[in-house]
Each structure stands twice: as C-alpha cells, then as structure tokens.
Structure 1
Amino acid sequence: MTSRLTAAVVFDAPFDDRTAWAVGRTSAYPEDGRNPDDNKLDVIGPRYGPTADGVFTARRAGGGDWHTALVSTEYAPGGFELLPDDELTATCTVHDVQGAWPALWTWGRDTGSRPQPGHGEVDAFEYHPTHPGLLELTNHVHPAAHYAEGAVTAGRPFTLRVVFGTRSVEWYADGRLLYADHQGVGPHWRAWPVVCISVAAGRYGHLPPRPGTEELHWQCKGLTVRRPAAGRGGARGPDHPA
C-alpha cells in the first residue's frame, strides 16, 4: 500500500461548498429523483442537502415518500473524481433507528459506448439498523463484498478509511482493517463520491421506518481524499474503461 507520507490532499470541501458538491443530483438515480427499484423510499432534490456540519436527514413526506439528503461531486462545477489508489477518510456517526440507510459510495463516469464495470460503484459503507453493528462493504467494479460484523457502535463516531487500490480495495474503521478484497478497481477507474441517507422500503430484510417516525439522520464529518504522488496507478484518462 502506498505510504501516506507520499500522498497529498486533493479534496476536502465542506458539504455547503456548492462549487464542490451538487445537492440532490446523481445519474445513479432516475431523473425524477425516486429510486424504488433499489428498495428506496427516497425523493432527492436540490432542497434536501445536508447541514454544514454534515448531518444528512430524511424527512417523511406525503404518499409514502421521504425527502432524503444526497450530495455528489458529479454535477458540481469542480467535478472532482476519485482515481485509482486514492484514499478517502471521514468521521461517521450512524444511529440504529429502523428504516435509516446511511451510505457513502462512488458512481463512475461512463466512457465510450459502454458503462464502466459496475458503473464505477464502490460502497465505502452501507448501514442498516436491522444489524446495528454491521457495515456492508462492496466493490461493484470487480465484484467483491463483505459484511463487517462488530465494525461500529450506533451513536458512537468512527473513522472510516477506504483505499481504492488498483489491485485491492481496503476498508478500515478506527484504524482496524475490516476487509481487503484483492480485486481492486483497476488502473483506469474514475468515480464521483456520493454521500446520502436513504430510507428502506422493506425488502431484503431491511425494515421500513416505524409508524410515527418522522425523521432519520446520520453524520459525516471531515471527508478528505488523499492521492499518491504522480507516477502511480498508470493511465487514468476518460477513454480507458477499467
């Protein structure tokens, strides 16, 4: 793994920086901002952003919908993209309230006549309170997945670190290695970071919110990306799918 001494910070924008983050937009969702095919009650949009200190909230709306906070760099003026061997860190606090679905993930630019493998998606983590100590860690680019039991404690901040390695993606919580997939993202991967809260619709054992629950939330602070010194990772241009 690349020494962090040779890595430079390339992204550390706060969530209220509209040059860096676009609110309520990602090409991973249909254009109407709803995503029921993915077991979500979400409605995303430009009015539903996180707070400046990184609190992502879902609020019950009419007709079974929930207004859910999401940001991505995809449509922001800066258009920041993660590249192979980048390292992402953040301090996260999740809560075991039924229906909440916090997630930090990536979604990639499609190139040429076909999409990137897995659309460039790597899940830095997904969390469901039906399993309150577990993080779901998934590489959709070169498929690999792991359920990290006992990784977190609801309500207690933890430091997440993910190294998007060319040959292996590595996930850490509070300095402890949770999983190394030995698959990696390949030398030509590129992807936008996405941070959101979704609301489970009830499938796959992920229970929806209880009646009377009006809000769900989690917090993501200090999201930072570091990049190794130039010369590692090979060609990374947009015309070279992973």
Structure 2
Amino acid sequence: MVGSACGQTLSMDTDLLGWLGRLTSRLAPGGGGGAAVPGPRRAPVFTADFTSPAQWVAGRSWAYPDGGPVNPGDNKLDHLVEDPAYSRTGVFRATRRPDGNWDTGLLTTEGSDEGFMVRTGDVLEARVRLPAELGAWPAIWTWRDGGQEIDVFEYHPDNPDLLELSNHVREAHRYHRDPSVRPGAWVDLRVEFGRNSVVWWVNGARVFSDRRGVGRGWRAYLIVNLSVCAGNYHPAPEPEVTEMSYEVSELRVYRDRT
C-alpha cells in the first residue's frame, strides 16, 4: 500500500468526429467513462464472507516480506495474526504488543482454496467504517507476484477528510478530499478496474478516472487489512492508545456476463 487523476473548440466536421470517437471510447466498458453501476451485463462473482477459510487466508500475505508477520520496511508496526477475532468478523483490529509492534488483522484471497482474483473490467463495491485513532492505516487493495497493486482506498486519521486512491500498475493516484470522509464515518466505495482507466466512486459520486487503467490481461488477489503506522510519514499511535479497528460490512465484485 503506497499513497497515491477539456474543453476544446470544435470547428470542423473532422474535429467533431474525433470528439465523438473519444467520447464513445470513454463510455465503453473499461474505457473510464459513464457510471460503473452493475447493470444487466454484470453479475456478482464474489461476495465476501470473511468467516470462510475457503475464500480468505488470515494473518499472512506475500505482499509482506516472506509472507509476514512484520513489514518494517513499509513503515508498519504490523505483526500479522491468524486469530479470527482480528479479522473474521469484518471488524479488522489492531492491539499493542509489549515489543512495540501491534497484532493486526489481515485477510487475503491469495493462497485460499478458492483463490479468487479480480480482473480487468471487474467492479468492486465495499462499505467501510473508518477508524478514528491516529496511526490507524486501513486499506482494501490488490496484489499478485510482487505487484499488480490497486488501492481501492487507504486512510489515515491525521488527514481526516482524505482518501488515498492509487493505481500502482500504471502509476496514477488521487488524494480525494470530501466532507463526508471523517474518522468513524461510513463510506461507500466503488472501483472499476478498466483496461484503459481505473475509476473510483465515493458515496455514489465519481471522483477519479486515472486514464491509465490496468491493461487487458490484469488480475490480482484481494487484501483487506488494518496496518499501524510507524511514524515516518504519518503519526504513530499515541502512547495511551492500545487498540484500534475499522469495519468492512460489505464487499462484492461484479463481472461482465459475456
């Protein structure tokens, strides 16, 4: 997880045709325009059941060195745990350890029996309740083979109205500020993993079309977790804080029927 985007005068028929062509491209599936509302051509292919070991593996990820449990090189105090109380209820928790790290909850589809991967053209929808404690670092993101990372969202309560939306496959990002985003708030997220543009919606409003996309054959596993900041880029937890959490009440992926 790493934090991370005409009016032209049309004077000739040629210009108009070109403009119409670009508009058609943007409105096409994966083109980055129009609403990514799951419609008649899209069907749900994944509905998260965080209690399911067939869907999710708890407490380890190859996005961490050697699969975990720690990742200090990414400015994290995480110590991943398999304990279902840290992730399997949909409430992702972190608690302070005597050694200064934090036991943290992480679930990934990588290595699970089903091994579900999102792919080009899919639409992911999620509903999350943001944490309030400084140092909390919640995220929903994708990962495969050392990369393929799209950050559905990242959040840090020291920037209380800001969501970080990032495409690390083709490098684009947006810091989205929104008065409806605040510590403890529920937020609805939607992301279309388009071939030519990844598009984000927040609380029903389209907020970022990166015009980069993921390419034709992209696919990646899902990760949902709560990390804890070590203090280099965002404040570490205050000394008196011993526990933090955020919640994911819904997570679904839709796919084109054809």
TM-score range, shorter chain: 0.7 to 0.9
Alignment of 1:5 onto 2:33 = no
1:158 corresponds in structure 2 to: 187
Aligned residues: 221
For 1:143 and 1:4, how far apart are their aligned partners in 2?
29
Match among 239, 243, 247 for residue 215 of structure 1? 243
For 1:170 and 1:215, how far apart are their aligned partners in 2?
33
Give the SS at the match of 2:249. strand
1:183 corresponds in structure 2 to: 212
Compute the TM-score of the two structures, normalised by the length of structure 2: 0.82
Give the SS at the match of 2:117. coil
2:254 corresponds in structure 1 to: 226
Q: CA deviation at 1:221?
A: 1.3
2:140 corresponds in structure 1 to: 104
Alpha-carbon distance change, 23 to 49 in structure 1, aligned in 2, over 3 angstroms = farther
- Can you list the C-alpha shifts for 1:154-210, whole angstroms capped at 9, x where unaligned? 222111101111110011111111111000000111100100000000012x00000
Q: CA deviation at 1:222?
A: 1.3
1:89 corresponds in structure 2 to: 125
Alignment of 1:1-242 (within 5 A): 1-2=28-29, 4-31=39-66, 32-47=68-83, 50-108=86-144, 110=145, 119-150=147-178, 152-204=181-233, 206-230=234-258
Alpha-carbon distance change, 172 to 67 in structure 1, aligned in 2, over 3 angstroms = same
Unmatched segments (≥5 aa) in structure 1: 231-242
Q: CA deviation at 1:212?
A: 1.1
1:238 corresponds in structure 2 to: none
For 1:165 and 1:56, how far apart are their aligned partners in 2?
28
Larger Rg: 2
CA contact (8 A) 2:157 2:182 kept: no
- Can you list the C-alpha shifts for 1:121-163, whole angstroms capped at 9, x where unaligned? 0000000011011000110000001100126132221111011
For 2:229 and 2:127, how far apart are their aligned partners in 1?
23
Percentage of matched positions with identical amino acids: 41
Unmatched segments (≥5 aa) in structure 2: 1-27, 30-37
Deviation above 6 Å: which 4+ runs of structure 1?
Answer: none
